[in-house]
């Protein structure tokens, strides 16, 4: 058997104006979505210079002292912006809190915006780390420029997905209008190479919650994608400039599970620091997701009821953070019992 890989698709065919090249992109994307919901793209619209700038900003951010990072803690707000400490999340049941720290950024939504007033999913102002000093303006500018470039790319990806499902190219446009998305700068310290700790994860095995995720990897590997057919993990070696694109749970339900939202995880045994930047596209929070017409039939009726983006995504968030909280509470309880009996 040849080595299993996540295919690299040349997305430039979509922009080429040549119908045959465009169709080739659509066909390759369809095949990947049917197989395991993961593919990579090169030849897309986001400039390498922007990717490099945002990655450099991420490294600067994480190299700040912990007390500076804590000043912009995610706990300062309820709309998912800011710094998340190591060991805050458990995505895989039965594993330890994850060996990663993150910084969440989204669209700059002022407190006067209807999304903020109506407490819509992950919507509010960003927090910016003053600790970066004179590097702050470029960190902020580069992050926001990159964020909007990736959202433009997301709209193009949704067009390709629509075509791949035999829908009008614009089928997902309303979903993308006013879409909520979150960009997450991630830093994974290196884990001991041959550590006997089988339960430590950079990020535990999980599926993503939203519609699509576009992930930029730095040069260090560690991402693994579950291959159900062969019951093995596929390593996704970083390719300069490429995005790893995957479908989330929302898209799987929307397509009546014709398309896959697949399990993936990160274990950083490289001996090096790993950085990555996923952008999660949830969509317009008020959009009602109902089984796509081309994904259902009399023999294959819709398996899921209609749900708003807001309801679908916020439930999934609450569950994953709740797990880490319970784990920590469990440890605290054990510790207090130990002191009580000492």
Ligand X SMILES: O=C(O)CCC(=O)C(=O)O
Q: What is the 3-state secondary structure (H, E, C) of 235-255?
A: ECCCCCCCEEEEECHHHHHHC
Residue 151: CB minimum distance to ligand X, A: 17
In this complex, which beta carbon is closest to Fe ion, that of residue 142 or of residue 208?
208
Binding string to ligand X for residues 246 to 285, with x set by CB under 6 A, is what?
Answer: ------------------x-x---------x-x-------
CA angle 212, 235, 98 (to 5 degrees): 70
Q: Does 310 bind Fe ion (CB under 5 A)?
A: no
Stretch that binds Fe ion, among 173-181, 201-209, 252-260, 301-309 (CB under 5 A): 201-209
Name the residue among 68, 1, 23, 7 with its Cα closest to residue 242: 7
Residue 203: CB minimum distance to Fe ion, A: 7
**Would residue 75 be called left, alpha or beta, if left means φ above 0 and alpha means ψ between -120 and 50 degrees?**
alpha
Q: Which of 84, 142, 156, 208 binds ligand X (CB under 6 A)?
A: 208
The answer to whether 256 touches 304, Cβ cutoff 8 Å, is yes
In this complex, which beta carbon is closest to Fe ion, that of residue 13 or of residue 106?
106
* Residues 28 to 67 in contact with ligand X, rule: CB under 6 A: none
| DSSP bridge partners of 264 | 206, 225
The answer to whether 308 touches 285, Cβ cutoff 8 Å, is yes
In this complex, which beta carbon is closest to ligand X, that of residue 163 or of residue 225?
225
* Residues 269 to 288 in contact with Fe ion, rule: CB under 5 A: none
Stretch that binds ligand X, among 7-15, 64-72, 175-183, 215-223 (CB under 6 A): 215-223
Residue 186: CB minimum distance to ligand X, A: 5
Query: How many residues belong to the chain?
Result: 342
Pairwise CA distance, residues 62 & 135, whole Å: 13
- Give contact residues for Fe ion (rule: CB under 5 A): 208
């Amino acid at each position: 058997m040849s080595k299993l890989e996540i295919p690299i698709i040349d997305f430039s065919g979509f922009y080429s104006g040549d119908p045959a090249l465009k169709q080739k992109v659509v066909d390759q994307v369809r095949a990947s979505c049917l197989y395991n919901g993961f593919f990579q793209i090169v030849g897309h619209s986001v400039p390498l210079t922007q990717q490099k700038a945002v990655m450099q900003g991420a490294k600067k951010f994480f190299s700040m002292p912990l007390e500076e990072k804590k000043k912009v803690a995610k706990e300062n707000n309820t709309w998912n912006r800011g710094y998340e400490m190591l060991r805050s999340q458990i995505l895989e049941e039965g594993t330890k809190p994850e060996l990663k720290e993150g910084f969440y950024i989204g669209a700059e939504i002022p407190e006067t915006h209807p999304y903020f007033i109506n407490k819509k999913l992950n919507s509010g102002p960003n927090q910016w780390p003053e600790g970066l000093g004179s590097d702050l303006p470029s960190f902020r500018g580069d992050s926001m420029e990159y964020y909007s470039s990736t959202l433009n790319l997301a709209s193009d990806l949704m067009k390709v997905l629509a075509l791949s499902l035999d829908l009008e190219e614009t089928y997902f446009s309303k979903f993308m209008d006013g879409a909520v998305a979150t960009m997450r700068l991630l830093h994974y310290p290196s884990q001991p190479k041959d550590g006997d700790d089988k339960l430590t994860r950079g990020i535990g095995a999980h599926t993503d919650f939203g519609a699509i995720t576009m992930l930029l990897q730095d040069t260090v590997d560690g991402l693994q994608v579950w291959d159900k057919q062969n019951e093995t993990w596929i390593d996704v070696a970083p390719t300069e400039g490429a995005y790893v694109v995957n479908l989330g749970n929302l898209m799987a339900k929307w397509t009546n599970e014709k398309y896959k939202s697949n399990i993936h995880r990160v274990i950083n045994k490289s001996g090096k620091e790993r950085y990555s930047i996923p952008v999660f596209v949830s969509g317009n929070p008020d959009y009602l997701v109902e089984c796509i017409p081309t994904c259902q039939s009399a023999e294959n009726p819709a398996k899921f009821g209609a749900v708003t983006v807001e309801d679908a995504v916020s439930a999934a968030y609450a569950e994953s953070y709740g797990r880490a909280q319970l784990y920590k509470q469990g440890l605290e309880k054990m510790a207090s019992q130990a002191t009580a009996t000492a």
